[in-house]
Structure 1
Amino acid sequence: MTRPTLQDHLEGWSQADALRRDIASAVIALADAGRQISELLAAGPLAGALANVRGYHADGDSQKELDVITDDLVREALSEAPVALFGSEEADAAVVLNPAGTLAVAVDPLDGSSNIDTNATVGTIFSILPYIGTDSLLQTGRAQLAAGFLLYGPQTALVLTVGDGTQIFILDRASGAFLLAEQRALVLPETAEYAINASNLRHWDVAIRCYIEDCLAGADGPRGKDFNTRWVASMVADVYRILVRGGVYLYPGDARRGYGHGRLRLVYEANPVAFLMEQAQGSATDGRLPILDIVPEHLHQRVPLVFGSRAEVERIARYHRDAAAMPERSPLFGRRGLLRA
């Protein structure tokens, strides 16, 4: 069976529509950059000390050597596409690429860069918006024309939505083409698997703590079933797993300094993931409200993020909105139980 290529898929989707052709051009450019990044990552330490810290962002996050390299590769690729405005995690402000362009693109060039030297999965996340002026990247996530991410792991995958479902393409090393592997990825509505960094338990608010305690209680607790925990510490890997087999991911705001409003970036991390999730019949919120309805205030705005199987995302929102929505709890798993920090 011959699988359609990414190029075939986008040509069939765009046809005679000029804006769609521009979107297709930007996606192809991102795929080209991803192919180069994949080769670089595959070389690991043979390509140099890619995990070395090069500097620090204003918020204290470190900038690795490979962060800078991938940013350059993505920017160079998009400069050949009809992209008027480019925003990146690696730059303080958006820059103009092609003044005649019709699109604005926001990118996290290397999500999970703390894992560079551990041979763990990392990725490139992107959001494509209509260009409407200098504030184009501050539109709500509902305005996105396309979004997705490249995943660099045992396979190099491109997960994409252009507003017509969520597709998964896999890089064929022999031909260099991204081939369609899943025409319509769907997130299972129910799950027994969650992803969260449990080392931060003592900093969580009551709703998150109670939700996780209920999951940990398993079949003997208020949920009446056992749950598994999965946490890769590279968000794109968790997104991909949830698209393949369901689950829920939580990166809440917490009581630590600088984490009260969440830690993931709205424009180029949360929004594209939320678009992919909704197109795959999943859901994404900040713990309470849909991510795609939040109006960005600046390029690097941070938000809490909960996404995945719709039933669990909705349950977590109920826990936040109304304490009465939480199940009755036995003394063992109550707020002053064994799991109290």
Structure 2
Amino acid sequence: MTLELNGLSIPADLADVMERLARVGADLARMIARNGIEGDLAASAGVNSDGDGQKALDVIADEAFMAALKDSAVTHYASEEQEEVVSFGPGRLALAIDPLDGSSNIDVNVSIGTIFSIFPAADTPEASFLRPGTEQIAAGYIIYGPKCALVASFGAGVHEWVLDPVTQTFRRIADPKPLPAETSEYAINASNYRHWPAPVRAFIDDMVAGAEGPRGRNFNMRWVASLVAETHRILTRGGVFLYPSDDRKGYERGRLRHVYECAPIAFLITQAGGGATDGSDPILTALPDRLHARTPFIFGTAAKVARVAAYHDLPEDEASALFSSRGLFRS
């Protein structure tokens, strides 16, 4: 047994899938800790079917999870590294996965991770995943960092396990606390400021203005470029994460994938009392139109997510005026 469930009541076949995910996660954690000793996990492995660059570990992780799940209750497997859904034998579950999130951070030793989402299988492979995130029965991630942790929800709160490197067992620890009502951190890639829509600029301007601005308090900016690392920080101490759409070609709908990145993170965050939207509408009620569909993504402390949505609700002329009066980055 690699994963201690410690009293959690979940169906046996789902528990078996979680055990298999944990087993691969423990193997990947050991491999990542040895990166460079027997090979370079950050070496280029070409591009995936959606045109994004792959690292060697992206491919290794995808193959490992697929092999581990082939004879489980998972009948449909959807991965960032696979162009289409891969179907196994009979089963009642469908699993979507980003096998290795944040792979650009491998060679600089920054936290990376695995994100997964589990649905009841539908009549077809596509229907199993192109559905509202509210229909997930489990979602979570494994973070490979100073400690390796598995965080998951089965629809009744959020639970956390930490990998014991001696026994290679994920030991359950205290459940994460609900997100705080107020926090002083936000995460966004500020280098793209000039490309953002006016509501996002206005929201960030208010944060940057600090105690002298309309918010009347100082804030700290964080940006790790690893969705799992950003999520783990927010689950630990609150805050808000923004990856909006912008006016660059290919970024009109943001860059994060709805099915296997945003929906599972939104599931976890809402279970922790937070919010998750595309800027205006909830992620969990949205319907992706294809397996690799992208979406803008804003999640974290509920009050801050709601405030971003309020900026988007302003008429365009009012939002533009608001930006003009608070555009602290303007030359």
Bin for the TM-score computed over the shorter chain: over 0.9
The answer on 1:13 being equivalent to 2:4 is no
Paired with 2:281 and 2:199, the residues of 1 have a C-alpha distance of: 15
Partner of 1:230: 222
Deviations, residues 317-337 of structure 1 (Å, cap 9, x unaligned): 0000115997x96xxx84474
Paired with 1:278 and 1:315, the residues of 2 have a C-alpha distance of: 16
Paired with 1:131 and 1:337, the residues of 2 have a C-alpha distance of: 48
Partner of 2:92: 102
Three-state SS of the structure 2 residue aligned to 1:216 is helix
Partner of 1:71: 62
Partner of 1:340: 330
Three-state SS of the structure 1 residue aligned to 2:265 is helix
Partner of 2:282: 290
Three-state SS of the structure 1 residue aligned to 2:35 is helix
Deviations, residues 74-124 of structure 1 (Å, cap 9, x unaligned): 111112321000010000001112x22110000000000011111110000
The answer on 1:251 being equivalent to 2:248 is no
The answer on 1:154 being equivalent to 2:146 is yes
Paired with 2:221 and 2:8, the residues of 1 have a C-alpha distance of: 40
Structure 2 residue identity aligned to 1:7: E
Deviations, residues 129-154 of structure 1 (Å, cap 9, x unaligned): 00012221112101100000000000
Q: 1:325 to 1:177 in 2, by over 3 A?
A: farther
Following TM superposition, by how much is the alpha carbon of 1:60 offset from its aligned partner in structure 2, in angstroms?
2.6
Q: TM-score, normalised by structure 1?
A: 0.92
Partner of 2:195: 203
Partner of 1:131: 121
Paired with 1:208 and 1:12, the residues of 2 have a C-alpha distance of: 40
Three-state SS of the structure 2 residue aligned to 1:274 is helix
Paired with 1:233 and 1:318, the residues of 2 have a C-alpha distance of: 26
Partner of 1:45: 36
Deviations, residues 262-294 of structure 1 (Å, cap 9, x unaligned): 110000000000000010001100011100001
Paired with 1:166 and 1:66, the residues of 2 have a C-alpha distance of: 28
Alignment size in residue pairs: 327
Following TM superposition, by how much is the alpha carbon of 1:184 offset from its aligned partner in structure 2, in angstroms?
4.2
Q: 1:336 to 1:171 in 2, by over 3 A?
A: closer
For 2:161, which of 154, 164, 169 is the aligned residue? 169
Q: CA RMSD in A?
A: 1.9
Three-state SS of the structure 2 residue aligned to 1:182 is coil
Q: Is this contact kept in 2: 1:167–1:185, CA < 8 A? A: no
Three-state SS of the structure 1 residue aligned to 2:5 is helix
Q: 1:336 to 1:223 in 2, by over 3 A?
A: closer
Q: Is this contact kept in 2: 1:252–1:262, CA < 8 A? A: yes
Paired with 1:205 and 1:272, the residues of 2 have a C-alpha distance of: 26
Structure 1 residue identity aligned to 2:256: L
Paired with 2:92 and 2:152, the residues of 1 have a C-alpha distance of: 20
Following TM superposition, by how much is the alpha carbon of 1:340 offset from its aligned partner in structure 2, in angstroms?
2.3
Partner of 1:17: none
Following TM superposition, by how much is the alpha carbon of 1:64 offset from its aligned partner in structure 2, in angstroms?
1.2
Q: 1:12 to 1:312 in 2, by over 3 A?
A: closer
Paired with 1:155 and 1:325, the residues of 2 have a C-alpha distance of: 46
Q: Is this contact kept in 2: 1:285–1:305, CA < 8 A? A: yes
Paired with 1:213 and 1:139, the residues of 2 have a C-alpha distance of: 35
Three-state SS of the structure 2 residue aligned to 1:101 is coil
Paired with 2:251 and 2:176, the residues of 1 have a C-alpha distance of: 35
Partner of 2:205: 213
For 1:240, which of 222, 232, 241 is the aligned residue? 232
Structure 2 residue identity aligned to 1:132: A
Q: Is this contact kept in 2: 1:168–1:185, CA < 8 A? A: no
Paired with 2:328 and 2:138, the residues of 1 have a C-alpha distance of: 45
Paired with 1:72 and 1:335, the residues of 2 have a C-alpha distance of: 52
Paired with 2:211 and 2:52, the residues of 1 have a C-alpha distance of: 40
Moved more, 71-80 or 201-210: 71-80
Paired with 1:244 and 1:35, the residues of 2 have a C-alpha distance of: 22
Paired with 1:263 and 1:78, the residues of 2 have a C-alpha distance of: 28
For 2:132, which of 120, 134, 140 is the aligned residue? 140
Partner of 1:190: 182
Q: Is this contact kept in 2: 1:282–1:308, CA < 8 A? A: yes
Unmatched tracts of structure 1, length 5 or more: 15-19
Structure 2 residue identity aligned to 1:8: L
Deviations, residues 51-83 of structure 1 (Å, cap 9, x unaligned): 111111344310111100000111111123210
